[in-house]
Amino acid sequence: MKKCTWALSSPNEEHYHDHEWGVPVHDDRLLFEFLILEGAQAGLSWSTILNKRNGYKQAFDNFDAETVAGYDDQKINALLANPAIVRNKLKVNAAVTNAQAFLKVQREFANFDSYIWQFVGGKPLRNARKTHADIPASTPESDAMSKDLKQRGFKFVGSTICYAYMQATGMVNDHTVDCFRYGQI
């Protein structure tokens, strides 16, 4: 069974590829989770973040945005001492800031799902990439998403991070056309 080449690096990445990557997500908790994880990934490999995902779930109260939005200095310091996550002060602080901004978007749009999916017209963009090299780092849609998120106070949401977020949450199908998941999603 043919798979995207990036998924063959480790069993963890292969499982993620086979079961999650590119599957449309409409659950606000999971959308928030990916927002935090993609921001944490900046400058690191996705494999690193996948290996720490369970640590993130525990450290960030199962990605409950309301709880994360209320983190105080004591909680932030505890997170910065936690080896189960990436201990980067800017990224940890951004998670709290993003939780606060996330809640504002939920109030404005009734849910984050309605807001974020508008950048692809409410349905996944189905690409037809032949190789991993054909996949861009960003697109006009991720540029627009990044710009709007930044205006709303989000951090670690550059266009490349937004495009990775779109791929992870199924807003775009970037499985290569020869991958068995391409036709399933």
List, for residues 73-113, the tens digit of each pLDDT value.
Answer: 999 999 999 999 999 999 999 999 999 999 999 999 999 99
Considering the domain boundaries, does residue 185 fall inside one? no
Considering the domain boundaries, does residue 29 fall inside one? yes
Q: Provide the domain count of the chain.
A: 1
Which structural domain, as residue segments, surrounds residue 38? 5-173
Percentage with pLDDT > 90 across the chain: 99
Binding-site positions for Zn(2+) read 4, 17, 175, 179
Considering the domain boundaries, does residue 70 fall inside one? yes
Binding-site positions read 4, 17, 175, 179
Considering the domain boundaries, does residue 183 fall inside one? no
Asked if 72 and 96 count as a contact pair (C-beta separation under 8 A), the reply is no
Catalytic residues: 16, 38, 46
Considering the domain boundaries, does residue 122 fall inside one? yes
Asked if 108 and 115 count as a contact pair (C-beta separation under 8 A), the reply is yes
Query: What is the chain's mean pLDDT, rounded?
Result: 97
Considering the domain boundaries, does residue 115 fall inside one? yes
DSSP classification of residue 172: E
Question: How far apart (Å, rounded) are the C-alpha atoms in residues 182 and 176?
Answer: 6
Residue with tokens 């404005």: 108
Q: Which of 153, 173, 49 is nearest to 102 (CA)?
A: 153
Considering the domain boundaries, does residue 184 fall inside one? no
CA 38-118-135 angle, to 5 degrees, is 50
> What is the rounded average pLDDT of the residues 153-167?
98
Residue with tokens 């499985």: 175
Question: How far apart (Å, rounded) are the C-alpha atoms in residues 138 and 135?
Answer: 9
> What is the rounded average pLDDT of the residues 3-25?
96
Considering the domain boundaries, does residue 180 fall inside one? no
* CATH at residue 132: 1.10.340.30
